[in-house]
Structure 1
Amino acid sequence: MISDLREELSTSDNYLGTFPIAFDNILDLVGPSIESGIYEDPEWATDLAIEVVRLYVGNLHEFVTGGKPQSHWAEAFALTKKCDRSPGRVLLGQIFAHLVVDFPYALENIGTNAGHTRDFYTFGTALVDATLTIVRDVKRTYGVDLHPLFTAWFLGDVIGDSQATTLLFQSTRTAALVNSFELQNPATRGATVAEIDALFRTSLFALDQMEKLGQI
């Protein structure tokens, strides 16, 4: 499904195709990793892969049919219509809609618990392993070189000033896991929903600053 979207959307004049490039490369690694037997709970890993695709495709469908995507995707998709924005900024806005917001809800939806922690971090390595092909394919299609940014991010180096520390990959995916646990607790759910939104807003602010500096 994602590969079909990539084939249809990922052209130099269509910024809506930026995220399918990244997602397709990641899923190309997730599938074989599940089949390889490295997960303690492969059914959980399969459910997570299906759920994150469902959330993205459902919101994309709403956007292209004139419906109402969830607010984080509505904002991310709106940038795909702005030809004056950097394709790198457009892509990263969607990546953070996926990682910061969709991921904790997807983990909640499939009943993730502390026993899945090891599998969760194993699942995340697909994004790291896909970095070079994502950078290559984005440059080929959209002419933007994200290699310095992606390399720094995935290695856990601080990018720019302190406002950009929320962009660190390790802390971002750890926050997704912790937030998924808190979402499942009625006593903390409300505060966690607000925290997820605040983290997403902070991430977008940092991305906008980086775009202004010509870093993305």
Structure 2
Amino acid sequence: MRPGRLYASVVTLTASLTLLSPGLATADADPSVATACGTPLSTSEIEQIVDLSDTSSLTGSGLTQLEDAIDRHRRITNILVAHRDWRGLFSVGLNAVEYDAVLPLQRDPTALQDRAWAPKISYNLLARYLRNLRAEFTGTPVDPPWANYFALTRQCAASPARVAMAGYNAHLTVDLAYAVDSSGTRHENIPDFYQIVDSIAVKGDSIVTLTKALYGGDLGPLWRFYFLGEGLDRLAGNDAPSRLLLRAADSGYNTITLANGFALQNPQTRPAAEQEIDALWRATDGALQTLSDLGGL
């Protein structure tokens, strides 16, 4: 789905909610779950999100399973964006690149070398977010980086771009490393790994455009921060970048993430890798907050 089509579908859905069900937003959903800086979700909509994010009900494997998960996430995204719920700040960009970058690449029979591994890592990455999203809407424990993101989605005076960046930090720094591990990534998969993540970086304009159009947040610095290092340039002299963050930026986030994922596969190096992943997302989050305070987001 192209960004324009997603935007049109969201506008249509919003209009339908307003014209056909003006009382829907006031249904008796738990206020602590129903609202994150937008209009309240109804009990029915919350139930839909809980059902759609249930990865245990996703059957099949490979590309079919990935396609089903992406379609479910699209439907969740439409609900969140229709209410301008800030929990959709990450979902709207993720949905765009899933359709603009991930699916076209995964469906191309000649684009990737390992046709069994490639959809598995993409699915495992998306599934980690869906599980945390479900935890958010069911009141069960959420992984720390996603708990941080969901907490920020309720800080309505914050910059929407800052909030969205917390989601991308959790996705790129933490979940991608664990997806490298859980998908059984081998060294021969490295070229495919870079092709997948590079296709997402190239389609970053979709994320920037939609986030600004739907939430008023300028995510341009996000891509400069992660992929060009310009975010760290803005932080020079503020003591925000830790040595770990500087090393990640110098080597490239995807390279550090891949290395951490490989380290997770080895029982002897896994504890240190878990500590580094945790330290890196926290350092990145602190740097992003400083960048926001400096007016860079």
* Band of TM-score, shorter chain: over 0.9
CA distance in 2, matches of 1:75, 1:31: 29
Of the candidates 88, 105, 126, which is equivalent to residue 33 of structure 1?
105
The Cα of 1:107 is off from its aligned counterpart by 0.9
CA distance in 2, matches of 1:21, 1:111: 28
CA distance in 2, matches of 1:144, 1:165: 26
Counterpart secondary structure, 2:154: coil
Q: Do the aligned partners of 1:11 and 1:142 also contact (CA within 8 Å) in 2?
A: no
The Cα of 1:161 is off from its aligned counterpart by 2.5
The equivalent of 2:63 in structure 1 is: none
Structure 1 residue 5 corresponds to structure 2 residue 50: no
One-letter code of the match for 1:19?
Answer: F
TM-score by length of 1: 0.93
Counterpart secondary structure, 1:25: helix
Q: Kindly, what percent of the aligned residue pairs are identical?
A: 30
The equivalent of 2:161 in structure 1 is: 88
Q: Do the aligned partners of 1:6 and 1:24 also contact (CA within 8 Å) in 2?
A: yes
Moved more, 66-75 or 201-210: 66-75
The Cα of 1:113 is off from its aligned counterpart by 1.3
One-letter code of the match for 2:268?
Answer: A
The equivalent of 1:24 in structure 2 is: 95
Of the candidates 130, 134, 147, which is equivalent to residue 61 of structure 1?
134
Distance 1:196 1:25, change over 3 A: same
Q: Do the aligned partners of 2:264 and 2:273 also contact (CA within 8 Å) in 1?
A: yes
Structure 1 residue 73 corresponds to structure 2 residue 146: yes
The equivalent of 1:171 in structure 2 is: 252
The Cα of 1:129 is off from its aligned counterpart by 2.1
Distance 1:25 1:172, change over 3 A: same
Q: Do the aligned partners of 2:97 and 2:206 also contact (CA within 8 Å) in 1?
A: no
Of the candidates 228, 244, 251, which is equivalent to residue 156 of structure 1?
228
The equivalent of 2:286 in structure 1 is: 205
Structure 1 residue 188 corresponds to structure 2 residue 261: no
One-letter code of the match for 1:161?
Answer: L
Runs (5+) with no aligned partner, structure 1: none
Root mean square deviation, CA, Å: 1.9
Structure 1 residue 117 corresponds to structure 2 residue 180: no
Counterpart secondary structure, 1:67: coil
The Cα of 1:12 is off from its aligned counterpart by 6.9
One-letter code of the match for 1:180?
Answer: G
Matched length? 215
The equivalent of 1:131 in structure 2 is: 204
Larger radius of gyration: 2
Correspondence 1:39-54 to 2 at 5 A: 39-54=112-127
TM-score by length of 2: 0.68
